[in-house]
Amino acid sequence: MNVLIYFITLAPLIAYLGVLLLPPRAERLISRWTLMAALAHLLAVSTAAAWWLYQGRSPWTDLNLVVYSTNDYQFIAAFHLDYLATVFLLLGSVLFTLVAAYSSVYMHREKGYGRFFANIWFFYLGFTLTVLAGNFETLFAGWEVLGVSSFLLIAFYRDRYLPVKNALKVFSVYRIADVGLLLAMWMSHHFWHANVQFSMLEAHVLVREHLAGHQGMAWVIALSVLLTAMAKSAQLPFTPWLPRAMEGPTPSSAIFYGSLSVHMGAFILLRTHAFWGELALMPWLVGGVGLATALVATAIARVQSSVKAQIAYASAAQIGLIFIEIALGWNVLALVHISGNALLRTYQLLISPSIVTYQIREQLFGFDPNRRSYEHRLPNRVRSSLYVLAVTEFGLDALMYRTLWNPLKAAGRKLDFLTVTGAMALFGPVIMVFVVVLLRPEWIPPALKPIMPYVAASIALVSVLKAFAELRHARLAWFLLVMNHSFVALAVAFNSRLDVPSTLLYLGGIYLAAFVGVVALQRLRRLEGGIDLSRFHGHYYEHPRLSFAVLLACLAISGFPITTAFLGEDLLFAHIGQEQLGLAVLFSLSFVLDGLAAVRIFARIFLGPHAKTYHEVAYRSS
């Protein structure tokens, strides 16, 4: 079984690397390699499922891969196979194989043929890691891969405005899900006083023993998991991201945003159900979110003019019903519902281009003006009000901007007086003072010692807010991202004893990424002149290597698992006490906004319509 699980986990990575090594225009080679790898993965998943059934359906857990270890901390790559993982793996492998075969023909003669197949393999790697994860740390690694690959797939038509813009919107919601997951990981360390494995959650006696006297900690974990599930599964108020994700190619919309990715929120609720189900009011909250989403999304779906948007909102409504089933404890029914919804939405999205033709023909030759729907039974004023609300999507998109993104940008723009040299002149001396005080703790008045971590964490948040809102200088935004991580490390050092190896593990990956980014941006500045962030420039067209280098640097500086900063991120959270919820929230916001700002820098500089008029430019609304 161990060999099978490791193969299932690593096969998508091998297939992804194989696609990268093949010529990007060699369609036959790429499609054959993809189909061969997909069929091999499907066979491995089927064999593992059959072996699991033969062994009596007992959960299989592997905890042997210790990635990093200190005296009081371990980062373990854990894998867990049970009925939940088996169903999702079978569903994912079947759908992926079918859509891969469909895509080999559908994407014929697309400029990014090889890039598309590389991206879907990258996404499938994240899906497999998430489903097979045996603890929060491994799940978070897969979660990050899902987020980044989703951004790349939605922005597949990277020379157009709307796909890139919507990719940033979807990625921003995914980062909100990351906040919940980070807080759940942090509080779980304190709740269990160990690296919690999902298999432990099935021990009801053990869970109830820990819940006794620790209800507050349990609620923090449960609410964080619910926030993650709501954002990932497009539940209220995050529902509008799902139709925006349909800007990518139809096969990727079908396999991921219609079936696999959008059900990851339900998956994490099912994975942790044995824990949060013990809290009396938590099932009511989950069911309430699902019911509200089912009603609102159904109303919005009925007035959509785009077939993809209609399918997206219908899928969100069904997932709302799945949330209700999970809240009631009907986990088996929820799994059946997930499988049916995923298969149906995949089919609907794959045939959506044909459906448009059929609907036009029906309207021309089979239109019946007397056909009435159940809404006609409502009073005219109620029906009209409901119609306007549904057409405007109940103002959900505007609500997110008004209550979250606009206030953050407004706070960042209050520092518009900063320039590159001004920021260095301001933050450089402040860091030096903090380091000196850190090395001489006796110089700090006793009354100030408890608040020093909060001061450093607040400065980190201010830095990343300015980077997030910066519209003029890319180098200034990049410098502020580095300052954010530096002050986060200082906050942890003030909060606990200075752990030099852990700090170096974290900052080593950050500063390496920062150096690569500075060199690449400086090179681009010499080639193209000043780089502002007020628009999309599309420089990928003429500078693909610089584009790739900056993308890697942005991923690394945002904590993506390609440098030691990913391990250090979890390690830093381990140094936050269970009573320091405010500090944990400051850290989470800093990490999330840091990732958003970094990806925004990459998108603004390298994606979108090309700034030079001698290149072909797509219309803004295409």
Question: Among 131-135, 260-264, 579-583, 615-619, whose mean pLDDT is lowest?
Answer: 615-619
The one-letter code for the residue type at 134 is G
pLDDT above 70 for 71:
no
- Rounded to the nearest integer, the mean pLDDT of the chain is 84
Whether the bond into 544 is cis, omega within 30 of 0:
no
pLDDT above 70 for 622:
no
Residue 27 pLDDT level (bands cut at 50, 70, 90) = confident
Residue 206 pLDDT level (bands cut at 50, 70, 90) = confident
**At 323, phi and psi to the nearest 5?**
-60, -40
Q: How far apart are CA 272 and CA 130, in angstroms?
A: 13
Domain ranges of the chain: 2-359, 417-606
Tell me which residue of 151, 164, 144 sits closest to 119, measured CA to CA: 151
User: What is the per-residue pLDDT for 356?
Assistant: 62
Question: Among 22-36, 67-81, 526-540, whose mean pLDDT is lowest?
Answer: 67-81
The one-letter code for the residue type at 502 is S
pLDDT tens, 482-503? 888 888 888 888 877 656 777 7
User: Which residue has better confidence, 8 or 448?
Assistant: 8
pLDDT tens, 360-393? 555 555 656 666 666 777 777 887 888 888 888 8
pLDDT above 90 for 207:
no
Gap between the terminal Cα atoms of the chain = 49
User: Which residue has better confidence, 617 or 482?
Assistant: 482
Q: How far apart are CA 96 and CA 86, in angstroms?
A: 15
How many helices (H) does the chain have, and how many strands (E)?
A: 27, 2
pLDDT tens, 546-589? 899 999 999 888 888 887 777 777 777 777 777 788 888 888 88
User: What is the per-residue pLDDT for 367?
Assistant: 56
pLDDT tens, 397-451? 888 888 888 888 888 888 777 777 777 777 778 888 877 877 777 777 777 778 8
User: What is the per-residue pLDDT for 361?
Assistant: 58
Question: Among 32-36, 63-67, 116-120, 491-495, whose mean pLDDT is lowest?
Answer: 63-67
Joined tokens for residue 539: 């420089």
Residue 616 pLDDT level (bands cut at 50, 70, 90) = low
pLDDT tens, 80-133? 888 899 999 999 999 999 999 998 888 888 888 888 999 999 999 999 999 998
Question: Among 211-220, 304-313, 326-335, 440-449, whose mean pLDDT is lowest?
Answer: 440-449
Contacts for 342 with CB less than 8 Å, ≥ 6 apart: 91, 95, 258, 259, 260, 263
Q: Is the pTM of this model over 0.85?
A: yes
**Number of other residues whose CB lies within 10 A of the CB of residue 588:** 20
Write down the H helix ranges in 329-449. Answer: 331-350, 352-365, 380-391, 396-400, 406-413, 420-439
User: What is the per-residue pLDDT for 573?
Assistant: 75
Q: What is the DSSP string of 423-441?
A: HHHHHHHHHHHHHHHHH-G
Residue 40 pLDDT level (bands cut at 50, 70, 90) = very high
Q: Is-contact 217 190, C-beta < 8 A?
A: yes
Residue 618 pLDDT level (bands cut at 50, 70, 90) = low
Report the percent of the chain where pLDDT is more than 70: 93
Average pLDDT over residues 40-50: 91
Joined tokens for residue 350: 């794959």
pLDDT tens, 466-485? 888 888 888 888 989 988 88
Contacts for 252 with CB less than 8 Å, ≥ 6 apart: 116, 119, 120, 123, 153, 156
Cβ-in-10-Å burial (0-12, 13-18, 19+) of 103 comes to buried
Residue 348 pLDDT level (bands cut at 50, 70, 90) = confident
Tell me which residue of 336, 362, 85, 331 sits closest to 199, measured CA to CA: 85
User: Which residue has better confidence, 601 or 248?
Assistant: 601
